Amino acid sequence: MELLFLVLVSLHILKTEALVGVPWCYQSQKYEQPHCKDPRQWHSSYATCKGNKQSPINIVTKNVVYDKNLKPLNFEGYDVKGTSKWTIANNGHTVKVTLGTSPKIGGGGLEKKYKAIELHWHWGVEDPQQYLPGSEHSIDGEKQAMELHVVHIRDDVSDITEAKKYADGVAVLAFFIKVDEENKNYAALINELENIKYKGRTEQIEPLPLSSLLPPEKELGKYYRYEGSLTTPDCHEGVIWTIFEKPIELSSLQISEFSKVHFNGQNSTRMVENFRPVQFLNERKVYWSSASTHLPTAKVLMLVLMLTFILSSLCQ
DSSP character string of 279-314:
---TT---EEETT--PPPHHHHHHHHHHHHHHHHHH
Total domain count, the chain: 1
Residue 93 falls in the annotated catalytic set: yes
In a domain, 6, yes or no: no
Q: Where are the alpha helices (DSSP H) in the chain?
A: 2-21, 42-45, 160-163, 187-191, 252-258, 297-315
pLDDT value of residue 299: 52
Query: What is d(CA 281, CA 229) in angstroms, rounded to the nearest whole number?
Result: 12
Closest CA to 52 of 271, 228, 170: 228
Model confidence at 178, in pLDDT bands (50, 70, 90)?
very high
Give a yes or no: residue 8 inside a domain: no
Asked whether 235 and 49 are in contact (CB, 8 A), the reply is yes
User: Which is it for strands 223-229 and 237-250: parallel, antiparallel or unpaired?
Assistant: antiparallel
| 131 occurs within a structural domain | yes
Q: Is residue 255 part of a domain?
A: yes
Residue 9 lies inside a defined structural domain of this protein:
no
Residue 272's domain comprises 22-304
* Model pTM score: 0.86
Of 12, 35, 43, 93, the catalytic one is 93
Closest to 57 (Cα-Cα) out of 285, 269, 270, 233: 285
What's the confidence (pLDDT) of residue 309? 57
Q: How does residue 313 score in pLDDT terms, banded at 50, 70 and 90?
A: low
- Count of Cβ atoms closer than 10 Å to residue 203 Cβ: 15
149: helix, strand or coil: strand
Task: Give the lowest-confidence range in 22-26, 254-258, 285-289, 300-304.
Answer: 300-304
**CATH number for the domain including 183?**
3.10.200.10
Residue 311, pLDDT > 80, answer no
- The answer to whether position 316 is within a domain reads no
